[in-house]
Structure 1
């Protein structure tokens, strides 16, 4: 599964500075979803682009934008998306990252990029990153900057909170497998805040056999789940009829919640008594349908806290 984009605006990301945004605003870089293009859209500064675009340089130098990530994380890959920028994209770009201890380190060296394309780069940097700096040479437009990775929360913060949503992407939860995502990505299940429409959840195609759908979630760390919330908000006529939960513990899947009827357009909450410590959870949805969010409220174990502390220091 694709790792979360740690820079997304709806995860708390923000473009804090840019040396120039004469043609298109810097905040467009982290807008969720693909860029769009209206060939008839012109404004007082010229053609309107859904991205960040600087003026044509007439002196030496290059342009930069600095992005604060929504949460610290281990960056695994970066996408410099130049969608719809054809004659005005930068021919080269680089990305640096700011570590949790305040050091700028290279993530993507200065590299050639193509116009109207998703320029993808693998990243090998084990230290948690809090900010990234996009440099374009010498100028031009970039539609989106995606910073894919695994959240690495401050272990002191997690310890102070006590009970957390172990599935939340902001703490390091991530989807590792699913049966189907025809109408909506399963990654939406772990996003912060409530879904604002049916389009912000996970929804499968209609099944025409006797099977069912599932999602597997790697928890932020090993923890004991006390309350599970299966939120079907906005899914009035297409929510699953039933759901079940299993936890990965001791090298096997163990039942946390037996197959149970759930209500449509509701935050279905279940108290899990005597749940064993788990590192992953599988949700089975019967037979198909959509769900807005999955929340797995619980407490990290001692081993879970140790894993978070190790990741915070160095993920290598």
Structure 2
């Protein structure tokens, strides 16, 4: 599926997805880790610390020599980057005038020294002008899988958040070793393709790793005032047979859906039933066996009539066709050795 709006794709660098800021050449005023914190940057005009104004972002000292500042981020889920956001929220007189972003694909868990020494970085965003106190948004045209990104700012200054939007592309060799896995998980290449309503939050929250810690970390729709129902459509890792579905309403006490159902389809064809309309309980992890289901590469979750869900897990295994397609995409996304 082609995406006209990269913002609808998950942030692969997000801390809650497993991202980490491995290196910064300077963080004199504000820590590098703030760059990948979920949610918008916060600001308290009256808050000062021993090093000056406290910012919810990454800020370097004023340069007195030529050069630039940089950070390296390990993506929580390696994949194909479709867009980046260099957010300078609250940085008004101290934001960098320009920035660039590069990507790297490496196996394993390289040390910082190895990342700094390699010449295999590829451009994702050429050196581009930034605005202060703004979400500077840039589409990315690249087919290479990235495990790390490097943000460079020219010459110095502060950035509140770095968002790296894309779709994860997992290593098929690792999935082969596991066999049965969560086909909808963001880290395995699952993604929310569409939904009826995202008033409170994105349906991609359904696919994040781990349990939620509050209602705000799930997917919640506005209250319906008609006879319809809300739904979310999820693209799976590849064509697969779903065997177990987990519908989690944890932390949704008075606004969980009353019922839910699941349907699947392959190649954009007709929908078929995976799980009929079933009652749900508030604040509960529901597990359902899916018996003898046909293969699917997309699943639609319908909730009745509206409400909030914490997580959607779809456990199963790729079909031979699904494995072959994932292998093809994996091969085409590797850097030129």
TM over 0.5: yes
Aligned pairs for 1:114-125 (under 5 A) are: 114-125=131-142
Q: Equivalent residue for 1:249? A: 266
Q: Equivalent residue for 1:32? A: 38
Q: Equivalent residue for 2:87? A: 81
Pairing partner for 2:306 from 288, 300, 308: 288
| CA–CA distance in structure 2, aligned partners of residues 182 and 113 of structure 1 | 29
Contact in 1 for aligned 2:30/2:57 (Cα 8 Å) = yes
Q: Does 1:219 align with 2:240?
A: no
TM-score, scaled relative to structure 2: 0.92
| CA–CA distance in structure 1, aligned partners of residues 59 and 69 of structure 2 | 10
Q: Equivalent residue for 1:140? A: 157
Pairing partner for 1:180 from 182, 197, 216: 197
Unaligned runs of 5+ in 1: none
For residue 31 of structure 1, report the CA deviation from its aligned partner: 0.4
Unaligned runs of 5+ in 2: 108-117
| CA–CA distance in structure 1, aligned partners of residues 77 and 193 of structure 2 | 20
Q: Deviations over 1:258-289 (max 9, x none)?
A: 11111111001100001111000001101111
For residue 315 of structure 1, report the CA deviation from its aligned partner: 4.2
Pairing partner for 1:113 from 124, 130, 136: 130
Aligned pairs for 1:205-216 (under 5 A) are: 205-216=222-233
Q: Equivalent residue for 1:305? A: 323
Contact in 1 for aligned 2:77/2:186 (Cα 8 Å) = no
Q: Does 1:275 align with 2:293?
A: yes
For residue 184 of structure 1, report the CA deviation from its aligned partner: 2.4
| CA–CA distance in structure 1, aligned partners of residues 59 and 258 of structure 2 | 48
Equivalent residue pairs, number: 316
User: What secondary structure is seen at the aligned counterpart in 2 of 1:159?
Assistant: helix
TM-score, scaled relative to structure 1: 0.98
Superposed CA RMSD: 1.3
Contact in 2 for aligned 1:100/1:128 (Cα 8 Å) = no
Pairing partner for 2:22 from 16, 26, 42: 16
Pairing partner for 1:194 from 200, 206, 211: 211
